[in-house]
Structure 1
């Protein structure tokens, strides 16, 4: 089932994550999914279900890959899942700018032929919520399976809203009361990632699960999910996307609280390409893992941990040495960095020393958020891309670098000029990519690490 809402802020993350946790607590294996490019919600989904949170984004991959990627997540493990819960993005019909409903929750729901549960914020309305539900039921051609009322104020308020919605013939599958004690804290890029909050995040997810279990008809929701028809497609298999190298090079992927953004399929593709994928935490580890032949530094919040990252001088030196002289014959080792990784490789972030791989690049916080899908073209060869190749990615940051690109830039997209840096076998930019849409990148990085 797909959990959607009329607009952002309606409570779909609360309901979706709580539903995942509640069903998991009942012994059901839940496959968690998120529409769109967001990294943060899938972290809470993983806590709720014990399975990787996976993204379904037609823009980053393709519409044709949505069902195979969905089935890949659903069938993961020896027995697969018993139910899939897909959290939507923004409002139900909000997708890529100026492209209609493309990449919207409605688009993905139709690709999956899945019933939709609409989460409606009833905090400032009574019977009028029925007008909202009526509009969403009649606009477009999604299959609206039921409604969950959120932020209900009293028994009387609930009765009023329920009666109005049920007069439409739409079942009310739950009603959540207003609660302030389970809100997940936010910062400049949205919710605080689950990996940063550890025990607090676990407790929040448990409370969400208890709230949904007490407020929603779980049996009715499961029955709704069972109305989704079978999907006739082969699951996405990373082993079919790449040709493995025989050398098994060790590729170290940055993790820990400062680097929490990454798509599970990216690491699966690296492993399928023959890499031994290992983790390191730039806040704690004083050197790269022994035998590292390649490095991936994804997104996250290094600006929140700049002091700690800067204080770990041994790792900063080790990574700089690897990037400049860590390859065969003394050449630089391959380093792929996105967004947070770009900031970490700069000479400084908000005045604090970073790795200095990009020696003349400084990064600072910016007054405005940069957010959106990007259609990009590679303007130079790099460890992953070839000049002229086109990719689809997204930006999501509130920092800027000076300069914005090097003498050899990585990308260019329609909203700006050259972007990012290619320096030796290091490539770094603000562009986030889902490698299921570009599997050759994983193969090229792995081959580069092996030679």
Structure 2
């Protein structure tokens, strides 16, 4: 039964403690033993799941109680873990850090409770000895519903340092399940939005995952960790199913969009309605469930690379351009003039185009002075300011994704600015301390900085595919 899949949540007192190294290393180590390992990441992060996928050979999936709601965490987990022997869930930030002003919502601790999963606490021990016991005791006792089943000590300097740490933790009653020695960090380069994605690193990413595996195998008690994973409580929820939720999507989210006058017919392929999804190194941010929902709604999903492909896939009826790093590849994207024209022509025909963050930049007139697709009368540029955080949004008007008044939660994460920030028909009204409108809706285009998770509102995918059929 899927709900009985053994599982661990890898947490830490703070960011930078070594969660990604330990979680990815555990995934790779258990996979190397022949186990089918299901990889998961708490929160909206797109980059870590790429490393998880390399470690396990399975799609990395996110568990976000803010974007999708707490009620979907269990079903989405069960969906991803079907047929697996073990699941490893990498946490986010510090264990009890959640959505700002929302208490425990979307924290690692919250997700661990929803999954009834034991927690392994990764502690950076580089500047402490006996104090580690007080730290671990505090995290283990703060919330009685969170079960800290053991600790992995990271950046341990010597045998003497390890002995002091173990002696202190023995008194705290929390078992030490691993000790990673202080060493040269695994080569996982970062830039303005975090780790460099797997798709951009090729063989170097494979080597990094292998180094994490070797480090964890040397320092961790894998048998004890597997036994802890098997002690997880049973889940009673049913696994999420894309076809089921698309079929049951709320009628108010599916009001048929008005057909838009097209400048010309778009060819359809014999094998069905085709939705093109941007991929490659410039557009690496996507949730696996989006493709599954589009497929369940009747689309054939075809991935293309805007850095290399000069035309959209033959028969494209709709286009999805997710997040990524177009600012890093602006020159190459700009140089691909045939594809920029093809995107502009498709948008001009009234076809539905859903663009998030990087996709928004690509549709602008220019990015850092370089020509982009010119679908939107706006310019984009890099900025020193990081915009980061969850957002509560409401659709301002009808679009290819939703009807006016539809509420959806999103996440912003960028160091760019678009001018103007909203079109004459904005995409979203964003609630919060700074109420504002954001994004662009024109013809079939819906472009916005907000990353959304369509599993929270499956009618989005069904409506998008219906627009593909009628536009």
TM-score w.r.t. structure 1 length?
0.96
For the pair 1:193 / 2:197, whether they are aligned, the reply is yes
RMSD (Å), alpha carbons: 1.3
Runs (4+) off by over 6 Å: 244-247
**Which residue of 2 is the match for residue 328 of structure 1?**
none
- Contact 1:247 / 1:274 at 8 angstroms: preserved in 2? no
Q: Is it true that 1:37 corresponds to 2:41 in the alignment?
A: no
Q: Which runs of 5+ in 1 are unaligned?
A: 326-331
| Residue 188 of structure 2 corresponds to residue 184 of structure 1 | yes
Give the SS at the match of 1:184. coil
* 1:248–1:450 CA contact under 8 A, matched in 2: no
Look up the match of 2:134.
Answer: 131
Q: CA deviation at 1:416?
A: 3.6
Query: What's the counterpart of residue 87 of structure 1?
Result: 90
The equivalent of 1:438 in structure 2 is 457
1:303 corresponds, among 324, 327, 335, to 327
Residue 126 of structure 2 aligns to a residue whose secondary structure is coil
Picking from 19, 31, 34, the partner of 2:26 is: 19
2:364 aligned to which of 346, 352, 361: 346
Question: Is 1:425 the counterpart of 2:444 in the alignment?
Answer: yes
CA deviation string 1:93-137 (max 9, x = no partner):
000111111110000000111000000000111111111001111
Deviation at 1:439, TM superposition (A): 0.5
Once residues 248 and 384 of structure 1 are traced to their aligned partners in structure 2, the CA distance between those partners, rounded to angstroms, is 21
Tell me by how many angstroms 1:181 deviates.
Answer: 4.4
What is the alpha-carbon distance in structure 2 between the residues aligned to residue 310 and residue 158 of structure 1?
A: 54
Deviations 1:66-89 (A, max 9, x none): 1111000000xxxx1100100000
Q: Does the Cα contact within 8 Å between 1:71 and 1:235 map onto a contact in 2?
A: yes
Q: Distance in 2 between matches of 1:373 and 1:44?
A: 24
Secondary structure at 1:363 match in 2: strand
CA shift, 1:160, in A, is: 1.1
Is the CA contact (8 Å cut-off) linking 1:247 and 1:450 kept in structure 2? no
> Structure 1 residue 247: deviation in Å?
8.7
Distance 1:248 1:387 in 2: 29
Contact 1:37–1:394 (CA<8 Å) still a contact in 2?
yes
| 8 Å Cα contact 1:32/1:51 also seen in 2 | yes
Match in the other structure for 2:267: none
Q: Separation in 1 of the partners of 2:315 and 2:332?
A: 25
After TM superposition, the score normalised by the length of structure 2 is: 0.92
The count of aligned residue pairs is: 440
| Residues 326-350 of structure 1, C-alpha deviations (whole Å, 9 max, x = no match) | xxxxxx2110000000000001101
> Following the alignment from structure 1 to structure 2, what is the Cα–Cα distance between the partners of residues 208 and 201?
11
Quote the Cα distance in structure 2 between the aligned partners of 1:69 and 1:63: 10
Asked whether 1:250 is paired with 2:257, we answer no
Residue 210 (str. 1) matches residue 214 (str. 2): yes
Work out the CA distance in 2 between the residues paired with 1:416 and 1:324.
31
- Structure 1 position 168, deviation (Å): 1.3
Determine helix, strand or coil for the equivalent of 1:93.
Answer: coil
CA distance in 2, matches of 1:179, 1:449: 53
* Partner secondary structure for residue 355 of structure 2: strand
Q: Distance in 2 between matches of 1:71 and 1:54?
A: 11
Question: Structure 2, unaligned stretches of length 5 or more?
Answer: 1-7, 249-253, 255-269
Summarize the alignment of residues 407-422 of structure 1 with structure 2, pairs less than 5 Å apart: 407-414=424-431, 415-422=434-441
Deviation at 1:176, TM superposition (A): 0.7
Structure 1 residue 186: Cα displacement: 0.6
Between the aligned partners of 1:382 and 1:303, the Cα distance in structure 2 is 27
- 1:333 and 2:351 are equivalent in the alignment: yes
